[in-house]
């Protein structure tokens, strides 16, 4: 990674459906200072940009101001690297096409690049984490939604329009749950943190057995509540993880067929549920993968902290060469 001593720092920013985290990072990938805002708190994107900049600018001053920053890298749901826009993101409060890179560039006076948040996490993992040395892998992010970054022969796959790799919106059940994208049965309606909470609510209605989850108002149940109950041996919570892992593992078996990755790397809070989620994922993956791929793809957990992975990936946007645009 080239070091510019006149501009030794970059800003990495990860926009999630719940939180936006940003930080000042040096050339070695050390996050020197960071802060965050609540994404959903701002229904107007201009107010959101103002709120981020209000917290970010004091951080920049600690390191010599904007003139010491080489660039800003942003990872965002439905982010398009080619255009610098967020387009029709179902888990963000702003609808339509949002020229976010241009908005931050104008506000900060610093060159800004933007990509899909899962792509940013994949770059971060490839540069600093579990994917170091790997040329072919798939990054799956399990958060408010399900995101993915696909790397083939050491290159991120962007597709002709910048939107390749929306694996969270692969339909796993055409008659299934309503998704924020407008369709039914997308993978993220089952395997995101919010998907796990939906499964919990469905199971509680359909089943009669006792569960610790019944002590929580249905509309307030979160994936962490399911994990906490599973740790205590709650049968229903364990079955929720089994169900979720089976859906995700089966989908991963299909993903293996189109890129034959060396590894699939799972990132996000849900991935930290340990064997409760990893064992059923691994089992479903092995049971459903095509014979020629059996035993060839490792299932790994991210080696980066949640707060750092996409920030570091966004940082890497400033240093990597731009992909060839298709138009």
State how far the Cα of 150 lies from the Cα of 176, in Å rounded to an integer.
26
Confidence check: pLDDT of 28 > 90: no
At 318 the pLDDT is 67
Tokens encoding 248: 């995700």
Q: Kindly report the backbone phi and psi dihedral angles of residue 128, in degrees, each rounded to the nearest multiple of 5, phi listed first.
A: -125, -5
CB distance 79 to 86 below 8 Å: yes
Instruction: Give residue-wise pLDDT tens across range 202-227.
Output: 999 999 999 999 999 999 999 999 99
End-to-end CA gap in the chain: 28
Spatial distance between the Cα atoms of 235 and 210, rounded to a whole number of angstroms: 9
Provide the whole-model pTM. 0.86
Q: CATH 3.30.420.40 residue ranges in the chain?
A: 9-123+307-317, 134-302
pLDDT per position as a tens digit, 66-104: 999 999 999 898 999 899 999 999 889 999 999 999 999
Handedness of CA 65, 66, 70, 75 (dihedral sign): positive
Closest CA to 142 of 271, 316, 45: 271
| CB neighbours of residue 256 within 10 Å | 21
Q: Beta 298-301 vs 263-267: how paired, if at all?
A: parallel
∠133-145-280 over CA atoms, to 5°? 70
**325: pLDDT strictly greater than 50:** no
pLDDT at position 319 is 53
User: Over the stretch 113-134, which tens digit does the pLDDT of each residue have?
Assistant: 998 888 888 988 888 889 999 9
Helices and strands in the chain: count of H runs, count of E runs: 9, 13
Query: Where do we find the tokens 């951080």?
Result: 59
| pLDDT category of residue 316 using cuts at 50, 70 and 90 | low
Beta carbons within 10 angstroms of residue 235's beta carbon? 14
Contact 301, 279 (CB under 8 A): no
d(C-alpha 124, C-alpha 126), whole Å: 5
- Alpha carbon of residue 129 to chain centroid: 15
Average pLDDT over residues 271-293: 96
Q: How confident is the model at residue 327 (pLDDT cuts 50, 70, 90)?
A: very low
CATH class label, 134-302: alpha beta
Contact status, residue 235 vs residue 274, Cβ threshold 8 Å: no
CATH class of the structural domain 9-123+307-317:
alpha beta
pLDDT score of 4 more than 80: no
Q: What is the pLDDT at residue 123?
A: 87
């Amino acid at each position: 990674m080239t070091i510019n001593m006149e501009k030794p720092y970059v800003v990495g920013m990860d926009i999630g459906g719940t939180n936006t985290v940003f930080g000042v990072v040096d050339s070695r990938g050390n996050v020197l200072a960071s802060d965050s805002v609540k994404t959903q708190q701002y229904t107007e994107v201009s107010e959101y940009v103002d709120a981020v900049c209000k917290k970010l600018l004091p951080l920049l001053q600690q390191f010599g101001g904007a003139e010491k920053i080489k660039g800003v890298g942003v990872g965002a749901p439905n982010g398009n690297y080619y255009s610098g826009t967020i387009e029709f993101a179902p888990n963000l409060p702003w609808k339509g096409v949002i020229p976010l890179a241009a908005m931050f560039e104008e506000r900060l006076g610093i060159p800004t690049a933007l990509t899909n948040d899962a792509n940013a996490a994949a770059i971060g993992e490839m540069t600093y984490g579990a994917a170091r040395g790997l040329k072919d892998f798939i990054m799956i992010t399990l958060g408010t939604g399900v995101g993915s970054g696909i790397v083939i022969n050491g290159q991120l796959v962007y597709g002709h329009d910048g939107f390749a790799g929306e694996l969270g919106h692969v339909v796993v059940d055409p008659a299934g749950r309503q998704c924020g994208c407008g369709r039914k049965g997308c993978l993220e309606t089952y395997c995101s943190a919010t998907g796990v909470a939906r499964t919990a609510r469905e199971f509680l209605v359909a089943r009669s057995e006792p569960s610790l989850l019944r002590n929580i108002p249905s509309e307030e149940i979160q994936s962490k509540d399911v994990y906490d109950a599973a740790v205590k041996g709650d049968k229903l919570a364990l079955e929720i993880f089994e169900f979720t892992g089976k859906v995700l593992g089966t989908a991963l078996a299909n993903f293996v067929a189109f890129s034959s990755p060396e590894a699939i790397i799972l990132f996000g809070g849900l991935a930290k549920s340990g064997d409760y989620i990893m064992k059923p994922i691994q089992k479903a993956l092995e049971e459903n993968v095509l014979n020629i791929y059996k035993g060839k793809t490792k299932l790994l957990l991210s080696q980066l902290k949640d707060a750092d992975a996409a920030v570091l990936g966004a940082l890497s946007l400033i240093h990597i060469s731009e992909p060839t645009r298709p138009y």
